[in-house]
Chains A and B, each alone.
Chain A
């Protein structure tokens, strides 16, 4: 995408809280109502998570099932430091930054000793330990989760939802900026090369292990930061963000949008989160309630529709939605210009 186009998009997104436009059916209220802004902010945060996941999956070729661990680490570290230990926000954020660096460095150093499916399993196992710890420990609030008590004034309360939205947007911009910069940097080229031909990288005298670890730590650190934004957005931590299902969700977003492509993970994250939230509303609507059971039952489950959509994309659009342009003749010219820019 041309740089000017990115700026236009960004300006549009940043201006959304000033719009009173009503999009019937698409959003729960006017665009600048707290409900709509909360939904949009959630979409942006998850788009950020998906972009960090794509750094591992699409750009480095690492299939991880443990990404949720780092999102949860950010959310719970800050929440526990503020709510349980009363340490105040600057200390809490410093703690989260330390955890976001040390945890992936330690776990990645172990997990990256194996490759492929085994790596996926080890990351799944580590994340599962994290999930069990969160569920059974008392300091995390167990199954009920932990509500954030001391919310900073600028983002506290329903009236300040616009600030939360801008925070989410800022997070997404930072993540996209860092990821795009890093994949164009020298290590970024090595990450891509590792996916194409690992032997060749080794022959050139570079250590695949170190470059993978770098990608792993960077991706996990950005996810930890996102966990903090997620904490503010939801006003608490829920054990849901520790589960393997959460990571699978990120995987689905990334593949849906197009793994390893420029804007794929971002699009996939926004689309998936939006559909996941809105389809639940569709299920309760009167239009669906009047349908015969054979149609009503599948439509009442967002996960069914998303799962089916995902299978269709994997079958017919291996490049994800970002690769859609290549398959439609009318879009070919547009997408060429898109990619050249």
Chain B
């Protein structure tokens, strides 16, 4: 029983990280048709930003700085590199691929490719007893952060005017433009949100894994892609469900089968979902 609880909470914690990366990725793809390979870079910038400021600032303020760095970078990328290429999705994908390679190399140049150890705040290093299991506190931190972001995103999308524009844009972009609404503001906005969420994931991943490398974003991005496709592109709820599913499948398969099986099963899950339901869990059947 205690193993089951621990595995579930660890799986959900991992799922929480995936969700933070995937939600922005999914919104960006749903609205702007950009498959954003630079998302892993936003995550790495968030991780390094949090670690770098964390040496002088308390943990919440450091995470805030990391998130701000990610959001600012994402907005700059959208304004200078993505915006001139709207309507040419292939070239946008290619630009983000080049950007990710260059940005991650730059991070390696400054801080090296070796893992940088990150100290956990004391309350996150402790454990809590729950249903007979001893659960590290950072799992609750991850799940709590993901739930908070999910709630904030849903509130924004369903209750605010810009959220309405974003939702309408995902549904039918040309119609929104035809109605005289400048949908480009929504593009910048989803990049800012996506960058901030990815950077938050980076900051929290640093706490979770205990160390950071410039390549941290690459692995996370791969699973975030899987989550986005399983969840259905453009759907935040779908991403949340898929993230929890992938995180749990990965943890349980890795524990009960063998190391590496978890990653492989997540990937097989993707293939199955795509073949049975090409639009993803939340997508309209294609």
Q: Which residues of A contact B (CB under 8 A)?
A: 63, 110, 113-114, 117-118, 120-122, 124-126, 128-129, 132-133, 135-136, 244-245, 248, 251-252, 255, 297-298, 300-304, 306-308, 310-311, 314-315, 318
In B126-142, the 8 Å CB interface with A consists of: none
A114: which B residues are within 8 A, CB to CB?
Answer: 274-275, 278
CA distance A315 to B80 in the complex (A): 11
In the complex, are the beta carbons of A304 and B109 less than 8 A apart? yes
* CA of A117 to CA of B268, assembled, Å: 17
Q: How far is the CA of A122 from the CA of B105 in the complex (A)?
A: 27
| B213-225 contact mask (Cβ, 8 Å, vs A): 1 or 0 | 0000010001001
Contact of A314 among B95, B233, B259, B263 (CB under 8 A): B95
> Of residues 11 to 53 in B, which have CB atoms within 8 Å of A's CB atoms?
29, 35
Q: A128-B267, A307-B101, A308-B98 are in contact. Are A117 and B109 (CB under 8 A)?
A: no
Q: Which residues of B contact A255 (CB under 8 A)?
A: 94
| 24 A/B residue pairs, CB under 8 Å, sorted by A | A114-B278, A117-B29, A118-B229, A118-B278, A122-B271, A125-B268, A126-B271, A128-B267, A129-B268, A136-B258, A252-B97, A301-B105, A301-B108, A303-B101, A303-B105, A304-B101, A304-B109, A307-B102, A307-B105, A308-B102, A310-B97, A314-B91, A315-B84, A318-B91
Convert B222-252 into 0s and 1s, putting 1 for each residue whose CB lies closer than 8 angstroms to a CB of A.
1001100100010000000000000000000
B154 interface residue per 8 A CB criterion: no
How far, in Å, is A56 (CB) from chain B's closest CB? 14
Q: With CB as the reference atom, state the residue of chain A lying closest to B109.
A: A297
Whole-angstrom distance between the alpha carbons of A117 and B90 in the complex? Answer: 10
Q: A310, B98: Cβ atoms under 8 Å?
A: yes
- Whether the pair A244, B222 counts as a contact (CB closer than 8 A) is yes
Binding site for A on B (CB under 8 A): 29, 35, 81, 84-85, 90-91, 93-95, 97-106, 108-110, 218, 222, 225-226, 229, 233, 258-260, 263-264, 267-268, 270-271, 274-275, 278
Shortest 5 CB-CB contacts between residues of A and residues of B = A307-B102, A307-B101, A136-B260, A310-B98, A304-B105
How many pairs, one residue from A and one from B, have CB atoms within 8 Å of each other in the complex?
111
Q: A252-B101, A303-B102 are in contact. List 8 more A-B contacts (CB 8 A).
A: A114-B275, A117-B233, A122-B274, A132-B260, A133-B264, A298-B105, A301-B105, A304-B106
Q: Is the CB of A307 within 8 A of B99?
A: yes
Chain A residue at smallest Cβ distance from B233: A117
Q: Chain A's nearest CB lies how many Å from the CB of B106?
A: 5
Q: A245-B218, A310-B97 are in contact. Are A121 and B226 (CB under 8 A)?
A: yes
CB distance from B86 to the nearest CB of A (A): 13
Q: Are A110 and B95 in contact (CB under 8 A)?
A: no
Q: Which residue of A lies closest to B265 (CB)?
A: A129
* From B97, B105, B108, B218, residue with most partner A Cβ within 10 Å: B105
Closest CB of chain B to A288's CB: distance in Å? Answer: 12
With A118-B278, A311-B81 known as contacts, the answer to whether A301 contacts B106 (CB < 8 A) is yes
Complex contact B225–A121 (CB within 8 A): yes
Are A125 and B94 interface neighbours, CB within 8 A?
no
Which residues of A are found within 8 Å of B94, using beta-carbon distances? 251, 255, 310, 314
Question: For A136, what are the chain B residues with a Cβ–Cβ distance below 8 Å?
Answer: 258-260
* Beta-carbon contact of B275 and A121 below 8 Å: no
- Cross-chain contact B270 with A304 (CB below 8 angstroms): no
Asked if B267 and A311 sit within 8 Å, CB to CB, the answer is no
Contacts of A297 in B (CB 8 A): 106, 109-110
CB-defined contacts of B104 to chain A, threshold 8 Å: 303
The interface residues of chain B lying within 8 Å CB-to-CB of A133 are 260, 264
Nearest CB in chain B to that of A255: its residue: B94
Complex CA–CA separation, A308 to B102 (angstroms)? 6
Instruction: Say which residue of A121, A132, A304 sits within 8 Å of B274 (CB atoms).
Output: A121
Q: Quick check: A129 and B264 within 8 Å, CB to CB?
A: yes
Given contacts A135-B260, A136-B260, contact A125 B102 (CB under 8 A): no
Q: Is the CB of A122 within 8 A of B270?
A: yes
Chain B residues near A63: list those with CB within 8 A. Answer: 90, 93
- List of A residues within 8 angstroms of B270 by Cβ: 121-122, 125
Q: Which residues of B contact A135 (CB under 8 A)?
A: 260
- Distance, CA A332 to CA B94, complexed state (A): 27
